[in-house]
Structure 1
Amino acid sequence: MSAASGRTPRWVAYDVLRAVHSSDAYANLLLPRSLVRAGLSGPDAALATELTYGTLRREGTYDAIIADAAGRPVSAIDPAVLDALRLGAHQLLAMRTPTHAAVNETVRQVRMAAGTSASGFANAVLRRVSERSREEWLERLDASARSDDERLALRYAHPVWVIRAFRRALAAEGRADELDALLEADNVSPIVTLAALPGLAERPEDAVATPYSPIGFRSGGGDPGTVVAASDGRVRVQDEGSQLAALALSRAVPVQEGEVWLDLCAAPGGKTAVLAAEALAHGARLEANEVSPARAGLVRDSVAGVPLQVPVSEEDGRTRAGRGRYDRILVDAPCTGLGALRRRPEARWRKQPADVPALAALQSELLDAAVEALAPGGIVAYVTCSPHLAETAGIVAETLRTHPGELEELDARAVVARISDAPIDLAAGDGEGAGGARAQLWPHRHGTDAMSISLLRRR
């Protein structure tokens, strides 16, 4: 690829896809930098963003369509050509790009990236793709599926194991019939949500308040980045679910002056900043910890706009906390991230069922360490950006079992409902013995990431 060609939206999207697939890059980190380097803004930046994220979200569906049109599995197609075909399929089937433009631009891209012979193959494949509408292709894929789970996987571009995990989590709430809606919501670009740190910033006059978080809003117009840049770190881009998770800890019960709080797994620091603002307002102290030095730097940057000294340690959270020291602890545990597939679309293709047991073991160890670090009456918020029962209700149930008589589970659903600006539909669940007290947010129901929030208090 030439340097000049990289300045167009299609080339920016292509380069990001290649990096995601060949170097395990993260699109949400790489794309913003790529847009700046290419000098893209406004409609061009929006086009590159839709091409990148839209293609990654629907990659499983497009691969099945490309394989059908090519008459060969995608594993037999040159990866550099395949990424261009994925972008072309997205333009043909999900965007309003004229057929000739989608085909011709993709063929030109393949010619530059992989040579003339590959461009002829790409032209033939895309012509076959263009012969059917999106719905016609989906019906064809439905007919080829060997099970209902495979049908959903092909139609909604989610791995089968993720679909089954989502179904179990919804079924625990008696809401298994919402599965299609959840899968569809995962394929829609999330609306940018901002947080005005409590006591330090206010929602702008032209802002649209979020329905649930009392500190959340959406920009009334213009670039949200401008609002953030002008705020000295007191307004930040943050999912509404993340805002509610931090507030659930700080507002679960009234704060007593002099309390000491800990954010045990703090990076990248969004929840830390909310807790810092809340601690400042109520005379509490906050410490933060992040095992990765690079990510600990992100936490320091995140709290820089709060006039409160927040020491950030760089230790293993399983040994960092100590005993009986803290009144409130946030354990925003490392997890599969299945609740944030809207904004991290490549995660659905990278994570595997085999990842869950190791993560669950780490989650249990971190929560155990936090429990030991709680002072009597102290509260720990166990939070994951995943609805997988093995990472949520199962961890809480195991922690209650291994600390008999030491802990009580607070009603996180009631806490979140009390915090919320509007009535919020939080279904009671009985998954993995959690007793229905856990608050589970959902993209399709709440417009947030699928954030799980549990609250435990030391007796």
Structure 2
Amino acid sequence: MAGPPRDPARRTAYDALLAVDTEGAYANLIMNRLLAERGLTGRDAAFATELVAGTSRLAGSYDLIIGAASGRDPERLDRPVLILLRLGTHQLLNLRVPAHAAVASTVDLAREAVGPKITGLVNAVLRKVAAHDYRSWTDRLSRGLAPREALAIRTAHPRWIVDAYADVLPEAELEPALLANNEPAPVTLAVRPGLAEVSELVEAGAGPGRWSPYAATWQGSPAELAAVRQGRAGVQDEGSQLVAAALPGPSTSSGDVDPWLDLCAGPGGKSALLAGLAKAAGTWLLAAEVSRHRADLVRSAVRGLDSVEVVVADGTRPAWRSGRFGRVLADVPCTGLGSLRRRPESRWRRDPATLDQLVPLQRALLHAALDAARPGGLVGYVTCSPHRRETVEVVEAVLAERTGVTTVAAADVLAGAGLPEPPDSAAGPYLQLWPHRHGTDAMFAAYLRVD
């Protein structure tokens, strides 16, 4: 019977990375499970988490380096071997692990996790990787390539994502925006309006947010805070908070007491925020989610709030009558290109074909949101993506097919809700946030008035 691993942190990271690569696991979820199962805490947990996140983010460029160092197509290597080489490469090139320790520990891990036959290959390849630093490797691999292809290698992004960012950003901001995706996102919390105040979190050692009046930043595990354990606050990116908190917007009429709708509510952070705001406005929120599992996450997020009803429903096949809601949020499924800091493996799982599947759904959901709003009602179309096909082009395509809908400038909506407009966030009349500008996920929001 095998005993405990010699190096629990590296073994946990290897097992998590193998599950991400071969089983389609999500890095953050598999790590949460493995850390709990194996009782890793403190420095070991932090080290294992960084190994998984960093290796996942830079996997594409690491594979090119491994290919050059080994003289082999990395895709032809057995997956466990490739995972071990990625893990060792990350330690060599982007962590403060001495080269001899990075190589020796990865060889030991290879012997333990896979078997002695591969240790020679792992040792030889990693010693060649250690001959250059990360910048030298990417410069060598980029030599003679077109500028954007070289940038893709240097910043560890697929070329199509580089092109998508280049389509909406000034050239001078392109590399900083991509590099920002390689920095871990800070832990940002959102208090549930009516259940907690930011001051409570600040008194416990948190820092106030920049843009959202409901936000606080935290160093450490959110579960250390009583408000989080009790469901009176939760983890939520500040940009995600801002686009939802703006939805009340400027008051239009006494009809503002009509109920509100969150059309794609899972996993529930925006619903929890909106439910509190709806109660303060004298109304309530219907939170609809097509997935039963995600609907359960919404119920967990809004526990303690009595101004919300959660239903399992397909937003494209409404279970409610048209023209009923005073405010509607359509936070539609998207590629997630705006949250690459938080989902390190996702950039290598998506491709342009994903857009062909998502865009028709996004348009259908925006149509459904507009149908659900009463005359004078406000609809927020939100994506965690800066890609034009998912943002401006969806909104413009839907507007071209409808009458009686008016775009409301995001600046006016924010002002009407008493919120600041972050500088350099205007994308025409819309809102586009960025990690490198605002420290948030790259959230997009368009606000539309039904006439």
The TM-score bracket by the shorter chain reads over 0.9
Please state whether the residue corresponding to 2:367 is helix, strand or coil: helix
Please state whether the residue corresponding to 1:453 is helix, strand or coil: strand
Number of equivalenced pairs: 445
Partner of residue 431, structure 2:
439
Q: 1:252 to 1:383 in 2, by over 3 A?
A: farther
Corresponding letter in the other structure for 1:225: A
Trace 1:195-206 onto structure 2 (pairs within 5 A): 195-203=190-198, 204=201, 205=203, 206=205
Partner of residue 176, structure 2:
181
Residue number among 404, 412, 415 corresponding to 2:410 in the alignment: 412
Partner of residue 68, structure 2:
68
Trace 1:272-287 onto structure 2 (pairs within 5 A): 272-287=271-286
* Alignment pair present for 1:312 and 2:306: no
Deviations 1:344-372 (A, max 9, x none): 11111111101102201000001101111
Query: Structure 1 residue 2: deviation in Å?
Result: 5.0
Q: 1:202 to 1:93 in 2, by over 3 A?
A: same
* Alignment pair present for 1:293 and 2:288: no
Give me the CA root mean square deviation. 1.9
Please state whether the residue corresponding to 2:436 is helix, strand or coil: helix
Please state whether the residue corresponding to 1:319 is helix, strand or coil: coil
Query: Structure 1 residue 300: deviation in Å?
Result: 0.7
Please state whether the residue corresponding to 2:446 is helix, strand or coil: strand
Moved more, 314-323 or 287-296: 314-323
Corresponding letter in the other structure for 1:353: P
Q: 1:445 to 1:312 in 2, by over 3 A?
A: same
Trace 1:267-416 onto structure 2 (pairs within 5 A): 267-308=266-307, 310-320=308-318, 321-404=320-403, 406-416=404-414
How far apart, CA to CA, are the structure 1 residues paired with 2:420 and 2:257?
Answer: 31
Q: 1:6 to 1:335 in 2, by over 3 A?
A: farther
| Equivalent residues of 2:249, 2:414 under 8 A apart | no
Partner of residue 23, structure 2:
23
Partner of residue 224, structure 2:
226
Query: Structure 1 residue 422: deviation in Å?
Result: 5.9
Query: Structure 1 residue 307: deviation in Å?
Result: 3.3
Moved more, 224-233 or 446-455: 224-233
| Equivalent residues of 2:223, 2:229 under 8 A apart | no
| Equivalent residues of 1:88, 1:126 under 8 A apart | yes
Deviations 1:64-113 (A, max 9, x none): 11111001110121110110111111111111011111101101111223
Partner of residue 214, structure 1:
213
Query: Structure 1 residue 212: deviation in Å?
Result: 0.9
How far apart, CA to CA, are the structure 2 residues paired with 1:2 and 1:328?
Answer: 58
How far apart, CA to CA, are the structure 2 residues paired with 1:410 and 1:3?
Answer: 63
How far apart, CA to CA, are the structure 2 residues paired with 1:260 and 1:365?
Answer: 22
Trace 1:11-160 onto structure 2 (pairs within 5 A): 11-143=11-143, 146-160=145-159
Corresponding letter in the other structure for 1:413: A
Moved more, 375-384 or 4-13: 4-13
Q: 1:222 to 1:154 in 2, by over 3 A?
A: closer
Deviations 1:183-231 (A, max 9, x none): 1000000111011122321122232111111110112x55322115655
Partner of residue 165, structure 1:
164
* Identity %, equivalent residues: 47
Partner of residue 242, structure 1:
240
Partner of residue 185, structure 2:
190
Moved more, 7-16 or 152-161: 7-16
How far apart, CA to CA, are the structure 2 residues paired with 1:166 and 1:303?
Answer: 34
How far apart, CA to CA, are the structure 1 residues paired with 2:63 and 2:418?
Answer: 41
| Equivalent residues of 2:414, 2:421 under 8 A apart | no
| Equivalent residues of 2:321, 2:372 under 8 A apart | yes
How far apart, CA to CA, are the structure 2 residues paired with 1:35 and 1:7?
Answer: 14
Partner of residue 265, structure 2:
266
| Equivalent residues of 1:413, 1:426 under 8 A apart | no
| Equivalent residues of 2:228, 2:234 under 8 A apart | no
Deviations 1:302-325 (A, max 9, x none): 1003233x2222121111143111
- TM-score w.r.t. the length of structure 2 is 0.94
How far apart, CA to CA, are the structure 2 residues paired with 1:285 and 1:255?
Answer: 17
How far apart, CA to CA, are the structure 1 residues paired with 2:437 and 2:401?
Answer: 33
| Equivalent residues of 2:135, 2:154 under 8 A apart | no
Corresponding letter in the other structure for 1:50: E
Deviations 1:157-181 (A, max 9, x none): 10001110111122xxxx2320100
Deviations 1:362-391 (A, max 9, x none): 000011011111100011100000110000
Q: 1:162 to 1:230 in 2, by over 3 A?
A: closer
Query: Structure 1 residue 260: deviation in Å?
Result: 0.5
Please state whether the residue corresponding to 1:339 is helix, strand or coil: coil
Corresponding letter in the other structure for 1:194: L
Partner of residue 433, structure 1:
none
Query: Structure 1 residue 155: deviation in Å?
Result: 0.6
| Equivalent residues of 2:408, 2:449 under 8 A apart | yes
How far apart, CA to CA, are the structure 2 residues paired with 1:195 and 1:24?
Answer: 29
Please state whether the residue corresponding to 1:380 is helix, strand or coil: strand
Moved more, 275-284 or 419-428: 419-428
Please state whether the residue corresponding to 2:317 is helix, strand or coil: helix
Please state whether the residue corresponding to 2:389 is helix, strand or coil: helix
Q: 1:296 to 1:451 in 2, by over 3 A?
A: same
Please state whether the residue corresponding to 1:338 is helix, strand or coil: coil
Please state whether the residue corresponding to 1:348 is helix, strand or coil: helix
How far apart, CA to CA, are the structure 1 residues paired with 2:305 and 2:253?
Answer: 19
Q: Which runs of 5+ in 2 are unaligned?
A: none
How far apart, CA to CA, are the structure 1 residues paired with 2:118 and 2:415?
Answer: 56
How far apart, CA to CA, are the structure 2 residues paired with 1:416 and 1:2?
Answer: 59
Partner of residue 432, structure 1:
none
| Equivalent residues of 1:228, 1:236 under 8 A apart | no
Q: Which runs of 5+ in 1 are unaligned?
A: 430-435
Query: Structure 1 residue 280: deviation in Å?
Result: 1.6
Corresponding letter in the other structure for 1:80: P
Q: 1:21 to 1:391 in 2, by over 3 A?
A: same
Corresponding letter in the other structure for 1:451: M
| Equivalent residues of 2:411, 2:421 under 8 A apart | no
| Equivalent residues of 1:192, 1:237 under 8 A apart | yes
